[in-house]
Amino acid sequence: MNDKKDLLKNLPKVDECIGVLTVKFNNTVPIKLIKRAVQECIETERQHILNDTGNYQQKSDDDWQALFQAALQKRLQPNLRRVINGTGVVVHTNLGRSLLSADATLALAQAASHYTNLEFNLETGKRGSRYSLVENIICELTGAEAALVVNNNAAAVLLVLETLANGKEAIVSRGQLVEIGGSFRIPDVMKKSGVRLVEVGATNRTHLSDYETAISEETALLLKVHTSNFRMIGFTSEVPLADLVDLGRQRGILVMEDLGSGCLIDLSAYHLPKEPTVQEVISAGVDVVTFSGDKLLGGPQAGIIAGKREVIDKIKNNPLNRALRIDKFTLASLENIMRNYYDTNLAIQNIPTLTMLTVSPRLIKGKGRKLLRRLKTKLAPDCQVQLIPTVSRVGGGAMPEYSLPSWAIELQPEKISLNVLEKEFRRLTPPVIGRIENEGFLLDLRTIQEDEVIELAALLIGFFGAETASK
């Protein structure tokens, strides 16, 4: 026991350590951060001593300095960091979904560091509306009469339901009551918007007559939800949107589709499965459609609401709209991204999400060869490396079971397990995220950016070099 008391007494003094580190960092680091880092290290050590069962080793001054500096470095790093996405999932929700093009990023940066005409009409000199900045573009591209944009698609769904059916009923097919990642469930959102959900049909099949029978005095909306992240196969049937629209018209009930991903290009022309486009949904005659800005659209996080003018006007005037409104950075980058869609080739070329989805496996393989050339001799004998065919995913809840043919660098470390490798790669700067498959750790080149290939090679060489040195 006495031993422990002595050890505790010998722990470094916080104030002295802060003094040394302040000098070391030349007063460039806030003292509060230094203090927290020092306290954290000493507290951890105190716990080690208290829990020690006899083999505790006292730290040298150098050990302590290294500990403090590592703890401080960690605190100085931003919490939101760039990562290298080697998962091959293009619209990876956990890794930030869509990337913006350099051009869109510039538009965003301009809006961030300069005053803008966000709500100022430059023609009249009077107050303007932030929605008018993108409304025309959305309408021209989709064929909608009117549109507005809010924080994300979940907000869009909430706002539309609250505006059009609060206190009333909305009819939805059982097969479409989906849960999107992050616990977004259609039935829960409906509850929050004050809408009573009327489920119709069986899980696998819903017929027009199911909707017809369910319509009552209380029905305000027929809602179709795109089953983004799952597919039903086998004995299934859904009511075509056009039939729902006809029914709605006959009975004087509004029809809405939550499209989820929101695609403006027919991707089946690019060897991808057919997804309904926003234009098709609008031309089928729905009153309102909602979709995400950062899924297949390839823009910033946003929820786009488009449809009939009368309906959109009501939604715009809902006070809830103010709480869900889109910020100027999003608007700037969204406008920039949307403008590409006037020319399909331009969109495919300039919007990173679309470029990554449509790039040929041959080009992906080329990127892999470039990486492999830099690695091959350098990683041996600590890690075997080869270029192998693999499949990527679209992600973002779109085309769930579709496999995009791709190429990956497969790493097979000799001295550490795949799980350790995976964990250590998450600690690199920047972190490298891949996936373990069969006997290897895979880095899919589809989602590794062109300008990351050389950086990644250096990171891998550095990692295995350090591994060897520590052995």
Ligand X SMILES: *Cc1c(COP(=O)(O)O)cnc(C)c1O
**Interface residue list for ligand X (CB under 6 A):** 152-154, 157, 180, 184, 225-226, 228, 258, 260-261, 292, 303, 397
Query: What ranges make up the beta strands (E) of 101-195?
Result: 146-150, 169-173, 179-180, 184-185
The number of beta carbons lying within 10 Å of the beta carbon of residue 465 is: 13
DSSP string over 357-381: HH--HHHHHHHHHHHHHHHHHHHTT
* Rounded distance between C-alpha atoms, residue 337 and residue 141, angstroms: 12
Q: Which of residues 181 and 405 has its CB atom nearest to ligand X in the complex?
A: 181
Q: In which residue are the tokens 């004050």 written? A: 194
Letter for the amino acid at 266? D
Q: Which of residues 296 and 445 has its CB atom nearest to ligand X in the complex?
A: 296
Least distance from C-beta 15 to ligand X, angstroms? 48
Q: Which of residues 290 and 340 has its CB atom nearest to ligand X in the complex?
A: 290
Q: Which of residues 159 and 457 has its CB atom nearest to ligand X in the complex?
A: 159
The CB-nearest residue to ligand X is 260
Structure tokens at 387: 């270029």
* Rounded distance between C-alpha atoms, residue 364 and residue 377, angstroms: 22
State the sign of the Cα–Cα–Cα–Cα dihedral 339, 344, 350, 356: positive
Q: Which of residues 37 and 305 has its CB atom nearest to ligand X in the complex?
A: 305
The number of beta carbons lying within 10 Å of the beta carbon of residue 431 is: 16
Asked if residues 387 and 369 have their Cβ atoms less than 8 Å apart, the reply is yes
* Rounded distance between C-alpha atoms, residue 119 and residue 343, angstroms: 28
CA angle 335/274/449 to nearest 5° reads: 55
Least distance from C-beta 297 to ligand X, angstroms? 10
Nearest to 94 by CA among 447, 350, 349: 447
Least distance from C-beta 391 to ligand X, angstroms? 22
Q: Which of residues 279 and 384 has its CB atom nearest to ligand X in the complex?
A: 279
Q: Which of residues 230 and 342 has its CB atom nearest to ligand X in the complex?
A: 230
Long-range contacts formed by 353-356: CB under 8 A, 24+ apart: 353/90, 353/91, 353/98, 353/99, 353/296, 353/297, 353/298, 354/265, 354/296, 354/298, 356/90, 356/446, 356/447
Q: Which of residues 152 and 173 has its CB atom nearest to ligand X in the complex?
A: 152
Nearest to 330 by CA among 158, 79, 149, 147: 149
Least distance from C-beta 152 to ligand X, angstroms? 3
Least distance from C-beta 376 to ligand X, angstroms? 41
* Rounded distance between C-alpha atoms, residue 184 and residue 384, angstroms: 42
Least distance from C-beta 154 to ligand X, angstroms? 3
Least distance from C-beta 305 to ligand X, angstroms? 12
Least distance from C-beta 331 to ligand X, angstroms? 16
Least distance from C-beta 192 to ligand X, angstroms? 14
Q: Which of residues 12 and 397 has its CB atom nearest to ligand X in the complex?
A: 397
